[in-house]
Amino acid sequence: MNRTEALEIVKKQLTERRYIHTVGVMETAIELAKRFEADEKKAELAAIFHDYAKFRPKEEMKQIIIDQNMSPSLLEYNTELWHAPVGAFLVRNEVGITDKEVLDAIAYHTSGRPGMTLLEKIVYVADYIEPGRRFPGVDEVRELAKTDLNAALIQSLKNTISFLMTKHQAVYPDTMMTYNDLILGGQ
């Protein structure tokens, strides 16, 4: 599948605004893949489909999490977490992408996980810093991503965890574990 075909497929699943975000993530992920010597084609594909399930009804996502034996703890935390693992499942089933590295980069693009692969880190950071993002602190992460992918990832995790805490929201354990893993030097 080439880029144009992939973008056409995902466009139908998204709002205009989210599609523009997706194109930004795609461009950023390719740039990061070049910089940090990852597979550019896989980065492009994972980025294009990372938010594929973003607008699926919550009930549908919940049912997939249950039926596919995904972590039941997902259901206890923020529903925003669901579109990532559900997206990986749907991209496999509906689009026919079978590359496990690409599917994992989609599955972990929101929560992160300990021992993230290079491709997973690239999609996570690209999602955070694509040119359309305007969060406080995003420029600092953009600067870090020019030279140090792990430092960029740690800073984006810190920002997200702090953001959730200031809103008095729970933090998904895998997100905390991702942060700890990187701080403790687990690559």
Q: Which residues bind ligand DGI (CB under 6 A)?
A: 51, 54, 77-78, 80-81, 84, 109-111, 127, 160, 164, 171-172, 175
Buried/exposed 122-139: b ≥16 CB within 10 Å, e otherwise: bbbbbbbbbeebeeeebe
CB of 168 to ligand DGI, least distance (A): 12
Point out which span in 4-12, 45-53, 113-121, 157-165 binds Fe ion (CB under 5 A): 45-53
**Of 38 and 109, which CB lies nearer to Fe ion in the complex structure?**
109
Question: What string marks each residue from 108 to 127 as x (binds Fe ion by CB under 5 A) or -?
Answer: -------------------x
Question: Which DSSP string corresponds to 73-119?
Answer: GGGGS-GGGTHHHHHHHHIIIII----HHHHHHHHTTTT--TT--HH
Which option in ligand DGI, Fe ion, none does residue 160 bind, with CB closer than 5 to 8 A by kind? ligand DGI
Nearest to 111 by CA among 71, 149, 68: 71
Please calculate the CA angle 10-19-178 and round it to the nearest 5 degrees.
Answer: 85
Q: Does 51 bind Fe ion (CB under 5 A)?
A: yes
Site residues for Fe ion per CB under 5 A: 51, 127
